[in-house]
Structure formats: structure tokens, C-alpha cells
Structure 1
């Protein structure tokens, strides 16, 4: 059974309430109905009800079992705007501005989660990652265990030609452009937690670089080496190698030759990239050339579940990101 099937089954065992921000998009409608029919989640679509119904009818989709809310006319707009004003008043937000924002789907959705009306939110099919993350941080907030929000992709390797079967976590491929050593260490710790919570297996972390244990001298190498030291000091429970090149992270025979006293032994399932540039290129190479599924970008470090979608997503992507969001809400 693939990791995606496992996650769907875990979600079905205790379905969560998921609000889908961009409810007027046919991809979102299709995924929302499927999530409801499969009993993965209780789904709420946000948007103009007439538009959603017209698009569903044109696509031959039956909307029974899916709730539709228009934030502009909802009775929840007023109390949610009051909540937003309470949260952001010290930052200068007026009651009038809070009411205006509460009528927008992205803000309304996050406020529903904050207020306890929903267990998680999925956005990003239309909204930019910047808007999705900024709103989640301002409304839901950062988990007390973290100092920042980062992201990861769940890379699903389930094709016959994949030399390794299962799931891997790639982080950070969507948010932190040039993390310093402290930030990179927090990304690694969060990514390890994400892998373990979603897979139920031990995380084996590789801190990636163009150097393996000092084979090259550069400030970027030193950054990864220092980040590795910080993670090991803070998380002695983790199996972690760093700094290591990719081949030493994922091929046991190369790890044996290159990595003295390896804790991962070439079997890394969590890859931590030294920069957003490397991470974004890396996950897309694996996705496009190997046919791996890339689920995300998924957010880690928030107080409650909120996840992002690629604007190039399809209905399957939305379905699986929502299933992951349900599982995150169970933890």
C-alpha cells in the first residue's frame, strides 16, 4: 500500500473538517466532492454559491454532502471579523479593515480554523504562496515549539522503476530562501517531525551540500555543517548525516565509502536542502524526470493545519493535500 493510500485511510478513520478556500475553481469542486464521498473529510467550499453550482452542473458534479459558504454574506462574517480585530488590533488593524478582510475567502477560511469551526484549511490553487502563508501566520499563528514556518513536499515514490519505494520529505522547497544555520536546523527538525507523523516510520535526515564531511571548503558548506551540529545537539534522538552530497545520502554503498560514522547509511528519507533554490530545483527534477508525485507545498510549524497548493495543481493534488491536512489535524 502506498503512503498516499495509508494517509487516506488514516483520514477516513477520523475525518476532519476541511475548508477549501477557492471553491469556485472546478479543480477544488471536483476534489471537494470526492473527499466528501470517500469520507476523508467534511468539506466546506468558499465562494459565490451560484457560481459554484453553475460550474458543478456544467461539469456534471453532484454537490450533495458538500457545504457552500459565501464569506461576504455569511452570518459568521461579523464574529470572525471581531476575532480578527482582536488578533491584529495591536498591529494597527481597525474593526472596519477586519470586517473587510473577513469577507475575503482566504482570511475567512483561516479565521474559521482559528475559531474552531474547521480543523484545517487548504488554499493556493489561485492564491499565491506568499498570500497563503502570510494569512496563515497572521491568523493561525506559529506553534509554540517553533520560531518560524517552513514547508516541505511529500515525494511519493510508487512506480516500478523507482529504486526506492515509499515516501520522502524534501524541505524547504517553498518558503525560506536562504536559511542561516539556525533556521536550517529548525527546518531539519520540523521536517523530521513531519516525516515521522505522516509515515509512522523513523526519520533519517540528510543535510545536503555540495560537500561531504569537509571535501570542499566554503561558507555555504560551513553553514550546513553548523546546522547539523545544532540539530544533533537539540535532537539527539534523530539519525542525521551532514554535511553530505546527495549520492552519499541515498546510496548505501557510497555512504559507506564517503561518510565516516554515518547514522543514516545512505538511507535518508528526509532531505534538507541548503537553500530554497536548491530545494525547488531538486523536487521538480525528481517530479518531472522520475515521475514521482510531489504533494505540497505542505506547511510545518503552524499552530493549526493550513496547507498550500501549487497553482498548477490538479484535483488529485487537492485531494491528497486535504487528506494530509486531516491527518495533521489528528496529531
Structure 2
């Protein structure tokens, strides 16, 4: 196929130009070219074939030059510049071969001949350019889209890593503070807390862009709550409910933790807290509600990651396939996450 295109197509291209020019000219002057002297016809066709080979060779050299320099991948100015050079090269070849040929045959060169011999080859050159370079345009477009997507993904990955890193200072501070106060009063309890703390820290090393079965997330939350209960007031009344059907559904890790952190940080008043998780055929719903001090004002958010960070992570990881609802009244604060786990 490449051999045919290389050796036969240029001749076909030149003859196509010739017969188109010939057709338009003969219709205008009511002439039939096959009744002309065949020696003259063969001469004109030979010149047209020569034009075809020279033009196609020049076009291919121009295409290779632009491909090597990556002009099409840079911007659309490269396309326009290449097209302009192609048209200029085409006109130079046509004027160098066709114009002398027309001037020395028949009744000489007329303005109509000049128009036919420049416009028609230029139109065919544009068609040829569009057909041949369409694949390059498509490759350049796809390449630019892939590059843009890669850059976007890298930016999102960097942002997710930054958000993940913000978990650790707040988490470490609370856990170490708990162990510190246990050391004097309950040494065995402090050892257990350190063991539980190490398990929690190990879980936090999960890649934030890799999903985990939801039962692991629940186990992590239960361990975290056990650790927080040590630091909490004896007045704490805690209600936990995790749907037994929450098993192997896949979720991104550490999305539920900020709600529990927020509740332990701002609990007050009646010291009541409930943590619930349910699942249906499509959605996982996780909700935390805690009573608040009567003097609490404004919106509530935890230190470190905070609810604002949680919103951003949910947007990055789930897009439109999630809901985050925050509700506050005079006595309680409720936050819930609804995730499409499919």
C-alpha cells in the first residue's frame, strides 16, 4: 500500500488536476480534447504527472519537517503556518511547470488559463492536505487531551496527599495525649492504648486513592472511638449502630473519621452522641449526631482536616455521587455522608 502511494499516487494526483482543468476549459470553449493532437495531449499529461510527483514529494517533505518539530502538537498556529507553506509551494511548482506549458501550446496563456491553472491545483492541494493530515490532527488532539488529563490527575493526587497529610498532626496529638495521662494511673491501659494507636496509625497509611472494604473502615472507627472514650467524660452516653450488611462494599478510607472527630471535639450539654451506618442496594449512609454546649455559636468544624477538607476530598473522590449534610440546632449538631458505593 505504501509502495502504491509512493509511486502511483503522484501520477494519479497530477492527472486528476489535468483532467479537471481540461474539463472546465473544454466546457467553456465548447472543445473536445480527444480531437486535439495527441502529441500535445501527451505532453500536457506528462507535465501534469511531473507536477503531481513534485507536489506530493514537496508536501511529504513539509509534513515530515513539521512532525519532527512537533508543530502540530504545540498550537493551531503551526497548522496554519504549515498550510500556508503548502499553498505557496504548490503555486511555485504549478507556475514553474504549467504556466510555461500553457504559454507555448494552443493559443497561448490567457487570464482564464492562469486562473484555472492556479486555483484548481490549489484546491486539490487543500483537499490532499486535509485528508493526509487529519490523522495527525487527531493524534495531536488526543495527545493534548491525554497530557491535560495527566496534569489534572497529578494535581488532584497531590491535593489528596496534602489532605491526607493533614490527618496526622491532630490524630497524633490526641492519641499521645491520651497515653500520657494513662501512664501515671493505668499503665496496662496505656500499653493497650499504644497497641490500639499503632493499629490505627497503620490503617492511616492506606493510599487515599485506593478503596478498602467498608468493614475495615468500621473496625478502624470502632478502635478510634474506644481510644477517644478513654479521654471523654464519664457523662458520655454513646450509641453505636453499624448495619450488619456493611461488609465488602468498597469505599475510600478515612472519609467517616472527620465526623467522629468533630463530634468528640465539640460534644457538650447532655453529652449524648450517636454514630450510625446503614447500607442499601446503592448507597452507604454514615451519620454522627452529638449534643453541643448551650453557649456554642457559629458553625462547627474540627481542627486539622476539618469539615471543609472533608468536603473537598468527597468532591475529588466521588464527584456528584455523594451527599454531605450538616445540620445544627440549639442542642445538637448532626452530620451525615451518603456515598454511592457502586
Q: Could you state the TM-score of these two structures normalised by the residue count of structure 1?
A: 0.22
Q: Which has the larger radius of gyration?
A: 2
Indicate the structure with greater helix content. Answer: 2
Using structure 2 for the length normalisation, give the TM-score.
Answer: 0.22
Larger relative contact order (C-alpha < 8 A, sep ≥ 6)? Answer: 1
Greater strand proportion: 1
